[in-house]
Structure 1
Amino acid sequence: MKRILSMLVVSLLVGLAFSSTLIASSGDIGIDERYGKPKVVLGEALSEEQKDQVRNLLNVTDPEQVDEYIVTAEDLVNFIDGDPSSNMYSSAKITRQGEGYGVVVNIVNPENITQVTSEMYANALLTAGIENALVEVASPLKVSGHSALTGIYKAYNVDGESLDKERMEVANQELDVATDLTEDAGIDESKVSELLTEIKKQIAEQNPATKEDVERIVSEQLENLNIQLSPEDREMLTNLFEKMRNINIDFGQVTEQLDSIVADLKGKLDEVTGGDTEGFWQSVKDFFTNLIDSIRGLFS
């Protein structure tokens, strides 16, 4: 019994280690007068009680300190020609930052955002043309997380500002491709984000002139990251980046921010594993094998 208790303690510590890499709090920094108030965008489908929950999650303690908006299915149609019957739940807070800050995305309650990771959001936002912002995402109930992207678009399409519609549409497609590769093809979330980021970096570096060039870059990065995809998924990925090439998205302007996404992905894993990824996962496997054997022993 003592052995089982000690194993359960270790299991808890492993869980806490993972949680510490996923959850962060931005704190209340007040209004930066250079960039205006932070913008909070709440999903239309939320009840008033749920909206209050989201405000608490996003650390909105004073309504006078933020500009608040509601993101609707109509916004989804206007920005990306989306489905007008969609339900909008996931919400976001956007705080503008100075040049060189990059795009930092913090999912404040990741247990409720079930498909989209912070790196997926960051990649899509860079594609849409957003730079230098702290973006916090939250939901009071379990959702995929897709509607938060439209909410962020809305925050950037007020007060005379506007994002390019083609870029918003392809960024939304990118998010769909990322979650499809994770859910349907079974590719690890971090691997998907790293793949998308590395392809963008190579497109910035090589400036492909044809779809065949894009297809070659995609194939090279799949091989470099040892990712196996079906011909259909390869075509889906190639078509996504061909569309980006056709609308002349210049990823060279955000290469440093792309580098930071990869660094964050590797940093999170190194923080948990101590740099020994293979040894860490073997120790986790051994732990649970021993735990199961011990529980079996109680009934033998």
Structure 2
Amino acid sequence: MHKRILAICLVTMFLAMAVIPTGFAANTDQVVITYGETAYMNPQYKSVVDNYFAEKANVDLNNVNSKVITAGDVNKISSGFSGKYYNSNQIFSSALLDLNQNGEITVEVDDSITTITPEMYMSALKSAGIQGGHVYVTSPVSATGESALAGIMDCYEEATDVEIPENVKEAANQEIATQAEIINNSNVSADDLNKLVEDVKEKVSEENITDHATIVNIINDYSTTYNINISDNDIENLAETIEQVQSVQDDANAYKEQISDIVDSSSSDGGFSLDGIFNSILSVFNINL
């Protein structure tokens, strides 16, 4: 009993001296911000974005690596499949990636993002082979959030120093763009559509289906199951999107292997355990309980 009281006192002293004054500091090398160029160039907009990230991620933004995502960056991976071209005054969405967070990939999206949901971002990122990290997305004004995916993927490249293959980027962006277009064309909710897309992708992946007509039939089946009504044209576009996602899975898996050690080590080293501190102090003072 006396030994345990002594150990608890030592732990308390250690925390008081080491932890309380300095606080818990994340590894800022594993935190990256990408600003949409429109938000970055406007001091008021940038302040709104910075305040959101500082509050949500609890990091000192002065010590965080950052990049600006331009319309040209977004257009490189969007115009080829969707025909969309963004102007420099249209890139508001900004993203922060924190690889210090434990667990699987999580995404938090501000209310300013009107179309793309956290689940849609996660689905697209998983299609690209990304499985870990905590992502925050915001915009200083209402925005669809479509361009933010380019920023999120840039965050991962910056934090891991590993480039995502261009065909994998294109497939992930096409997934986001196609879902956004379907939402705009129909009354289907983002959550219902994302559930359908996830289930279709899972079935196509498990059975390694590459035939377009078969994928269309699968989409139709799930649409009936979930009572989702989307046009034949949207179904065709979605089938093409899922085909492309499936076609790049070898490259996505190769990328996933390249970053797995980085993401895993970031996740495992990012936090601290009171049990770990407790046991370490016991060992230092040779105390057995």
TM-score normalised by length of structure 2: 0.69
Match of residue 30 from structure 1: 25
CA–CA separation in structure 2 for the residues paired with 1:233 and 1:79:
21
Amino acid at match of 2:108: N
Gaps of 5+ in 2: 1-22, 257-289
Amino acid at match of 1:37: Q
Number of residues of Structure 1 aligned to a counterpart in Structure 2: 222
2:165 touches 2:251 (CA, 8 Å); kept in 1? no
Deviation at 1:51, TM superposition (A): 0.9
Match of residue 192 from structure 2: 191
Match of residue 38 from structure 2: 45
Match of residue 73 from structure 2: 75
CA–CA separation in structure 2 for the residues paired with 1:216 and 1:198:
13
Match of residue 123 from structure 1: 123
Point out which structure has higher relative CO (alpha carbons under 8 A, 6+ apart): 2
What are the residue-to-residue correspondences of 1:286-297 with 2, within 5 Å?
A: none
Secondary structure of the 1:30 match is coil
CA–CA separation in structure 2 for the residues paired with 1:220 and 1:136:
34
Match of residue 143 from structure 2: 143
Match of residue 224 from structure 1: 225
Instruction: Indicate how the Cα distance of structure 1 residues 176 and 84 shifts in structure 2: closer, same or farther if over 3 A, else same.
Output: closer
CA–CA separation in structure 1 for the residues paired with 2:45 and 2:213:
48
CA–CA separation in structure 1 for the residues paired with 2:149 and 2:227:
29
Q: For residues 261-292 of structure 1, what are the alpha-carbon distances to aligned partners after superposition, in whole Å with 9 as ceiling and x for unaligned?
A: xxxxxxxxxxxxxxxxxxxxxxxxxxxxxxxx
Q: For residues 69-115 of structure 1, what are the alpha-carbon distances to aligned partners after superposition, in whole Å with 9 as ceiling and x for unaligned?
A: 1111222234445636352111010011578x2221101x31x1111
Deviation at 1:49, TM superposition (A): 2.1
Q: For residues 123-157 of structure 1, what are the alpha-carbon distances to aligned partners after superposition, in whole Å with 9 as ceiling and x for unaligned?
A: 11112222201100111111111121111122123
CA–CA separation in structure 1 for the residues paired with 2:77 and 2:180:
20
Amino acid at match of 1:145: G
Q: For residues 16-57 of structure 1, what are the alpha-carbon distances to aligned partners after superposition, in whole Å with 9 as ceiling and x for unaligned?
A: xxxxxxxxxxxx963248xx3310111111202211211110
Amino acid at match of 1:124: A
Match of residue 174 from structure 1: 175
TM-score normalised by length of structure 1: 0.66
Q: For residues 177-212 of structure 1, what are the alpha-carbon distances to aligned partners after superposition, in whole Å with 9 as ceiling and x for unaligned?
A: 111222211101110111111111112222214223
Deviation at 1:250, TM superposition (A): 8.6
Match of residue 104 from structure 1: 106
Match of residue 61 from structure 2: 63
2:31 touches 2:65 (CA, 8 Å); kept in 1? yes
Secondary structure of the 1:156 match is helix
CA–CA separation in structure 2 for the residues paired with 1:211 and 1:227:
20
1:54 aligned onto 2:49? yes
CA–CA separation in structure 2 for the residues paired with 1:168 and 1:65:
28
1:31 touches 1:65 (CA, 8 Å); kept in 2? no
Amino acid at match of 1:217: I
Instruction: Indicate how the Cα distance of structure 1 residues 84 and 233 shifts in structure 2: closer, same or farther if over 3 A, else same.
Output: closer
Deviation at 1:61, TM superposition (A): 5.5
Q: Please give the root-mean-square deviation of Cα atoms over the aligned residues, in Å.
A: 2.7
1:215 touches 1:238 (CA, 8 Å); kept in 2? yes
1:127 touches 1:168 (CA, 8 Å); kept in 2? no
Residue range with higher mean Cα deviation, 165-174 or 73-82: 73-82
Match of residue 266 from structure 1: none
Secondary structure of the 2:249 match is coil
Identity %: 25
2:108 touches 2:136 (CA, 8 Å); kept in 1? yes
Decide which structure has the larger Cα Rg and report it: 2
2:210 touches 2:243 (CA, 8 Å); kept in 1? no
Gaps of 5+ in 1: 1-27, 255-300
Amino acid at match of 1:41: T
2:97 touches 2:156 (CA, 8 Å); kept in 1? no
CA–CA separation in structure 2 for the residues paired with 1:126 and 1:71:
21
CA–CA separation in structure 2 for the residues paired with 1:65 and 1:29:
14
